[in-house]
Amino acid sequence: MTTEIIAHRGASKLAPENTMPAFELAYKQGADGIETDVQLTKDGIPVLIHDEQVKRTTNGKGYVKDLTLNQLKELDAGSWFSKKFIGTTIITLEEFLQWIKPKSLYLNIELKNTKIIYKNMETIVYDMLSHYDLLHRTTLSTFNPFSVRRISELCQDLDIALLTSRRNPNLVHDAKAMGANALHVKFRLLRLSLKKACQKENMTLRVYTVNRPMHMRQCFTQKIDGLITDVPNLALQQRSAYQLKHKD
């Protein structure tokens, strides 16, 4: 059993998060998958950006929900990170799916729908994944339990993860009851007991955001299904070293 290495917002330590350079780099480094965040534009188009507002990661201001795709495309999403990335733009989910389609990468699409409840977000994203025939290698995740429920009603055999950073002794039971078959938990919630409870209930367990070698090793030892990291290159090195040491 191998712990999958999933690049958090792409290789976001070395390139601007949720942009093509970060995704390209994660792919080149050999990550198993890519995690990215989705918000909806004013014209209802899914775009890849973590925050509800554009201020932190572009040269613009305002809410994604109040800007059209054309307005968002005019923004620079690279220069905040480094001059090297001037000219990088926000991309749509569709552009991302077209890029990833011919590659053997796993996708983790996180719906950003806790602060803003975007109308029909689940259906819009689901239909697009279905159109590109990518549902079988995608996990849809969200912190919003109601959204987990809505996704689970769209499709029976989809990989649906409840994201959480909160301690809850009934986590596995609660997640299952809302229709999730995977849990994406903050690293500090990781316990052997949680891993065992997931195993018992046939629930996939992935952990975010794992950037330290010591924490990565803990995931490998506990045979966690996946770790989500800003530094996929480091995680890949650590995994190879771990596997070499434990090959018998």
Q: What is the closest distance, in whole angstroms, from the C-beta atom of residue 141 to Mg ion in the complex?
A: 8
Give the whole-angstrom CA distance, residue 116 versus residue 220.
35
Give the whole-angstrom CA distance, residue 55 versus residue 217.
35
- Contact between 17 and Mg ion per CB under 5 A: no
At residue 5, φ and ψ (nearest 5 deg) are: -105, 115
Give the whole-angstrom CA distance, residue 22 versus residue 230.
10
Residue nearest to ligand G3P (CB): 208
- Contact between 122 and ligand G3P per CB under 6 A: no
Can you tell me which of 32, 110, 225, 230 binds Mg ion, judged by CB under 5 A?
110
Can you tell me which of 19, 41, 92, 141 binds ligand G3P, judged by CB under 6 A?
141
Q: What is the closest distance, in whole angstroms, from the C-beta atom of residue 161 to ligand G3P in the complex?
A: 8
Give the whole-angstrom CA distance, residue 98 versus residue 100.
6
Quickly list H helices, 19-92.
20-29, 69-73
Site for Mg ion in 152-191 (CB under 5 A): none
- Contact between 230 and Mg ion per CB under 5 A: no
Q: Kindly give the pairing relationship between strand 226-229 and strand 182-186.
A: unpaired
Can you tell me which of 4, 17, 37, 122 binds Mg ion, judged by CB under 5 A?
37
Rank residues 124 and 228 by Cβ distance to ligand G3P and give the closer one. 228
Largest CA distance in the chain: 56
Query: Using CB distances below 5 to 8 A depending on partner kind, what does residue 208 bind out of ligand G3P, Mg ion, none?
Result: ligand G3P
- Contact between 208 and ligand G3P per CB under 6 A: yes
- 198's enclosing H/E stretch is helix 192-200
Q: What is the closest distance, in whole angstroms, from the C-beta atom of residue 3 to ligand G3P in the complex?
A: 15
Q: What is the closest distance, in whole angstroms, from the C-beta atom of residue 171 to ligand G3P in the complex?
A: 16
Rank residues 56 and 173 by Cβ distance to Mg ion and give the closer one. 56
Is there a contact between 235 and 214 (Cβ–Cβ < 8 Å)?
Answer: no
Quickly list H helices, 30-179.
69-73, 93-100, 121-131, 145-154, 171-177
The answer to whether residue 215 is catalytic is no
Amino acid at 142: T
Distance set, CA 43 to CA 40, 102, 112, 160 (Å)? 8, 28, 17, 26
Can you tell me which of 5, 7, 8, 96 binds ligand G3P, judged by CB under 6 A?
8
- Contact between 35 and ligand G3P per CB under 6 A: yes
Can you tell me which of 228, 231, 234, 235 binds ligand G3P, judged by CB under 6 A?
228
Is there a contact between 208 and 161 (Cβ–Cβ < 8 Å)?
Answer: no
Q: Write out the catalytic residue numbers.
A: 8, 50
The contact set with ligand G3P (CB under 6 A) reads: 8, 35, 37, 50, 110, 141, 163, 184, 208, 228
